[in-house]
Amino acid sequence: MDTIRFARIADIPAFSGECSLVTRSVTDAGDLLFLFVETAASEAVLGNDTRATTHDSLARMSAPAQFRLVGVRGDWHYIIDLPPLDLTFPRVDVFPSGRVLVVGARSQWRREDDYDLNGVIYDPADGSTTRILLGDGINSV
């Protein structure tokens, strides 16, 4: 399966039943971004999981979920299937190089060697990911 696929807007696949929209944004270049997560994880990723009882459960999901980014550029769209992520309350942006930044809005610092890495930089060209700490309470990227 190709990591990035470009196609006409009319060819955007239907996501109902398999994915749920979790956030949307606009890049500096004007692309519209729509971040979807597999439907089974939608409650956990948005912090609506009634089993969540601690701050830890707000900062990350108990199990990683599959995310899909759909970008719209003019009359065309592109799809980037991201690796499984455990971030909650995600925000997303795309660097001019094509790398994707996904940020979980929540992070907890428990002690010097125990904290949530709430940022992921994903490179669709080679599939590499880099986890980074960005802090708690992020509203936008």
Read off the pLDDT of residues 80-103 as tens digits, 9 standing for 90 and up. 999 999 999 999 999 999 999 999
Lowest mean pLDDT among 26-30, 31-35, 119-123, 136-140: 136-140
Token pair of 130 as six digits: 């880099």
pLDDT tens track for 1-18: 345 555 555 555 555 458
Length of the chain: 141
The pTM is what? 0.81
Residue 141's alpha-carbon distances to 36, 75, 103, in angstroms, are 17, 25, 8
Phi, psi of 9, deg, nearest 5: -55, -40
- DSSP 8-state secondary structure symbol assigned to residue 88: S
Region 106-125: mean pLDDT is 91
**CB neighbours of residue 44 within 10 Å:** 21
Distance CA 6, CA 115 (A): 37
pLDDT tens track for 38-87: 888 888 888 764 444 444 457 788 889 999 999 998 888 899 999 999 99
Q: Cα torsion for 106, 25, 14, 65, to the nearest 10°?
A: -20
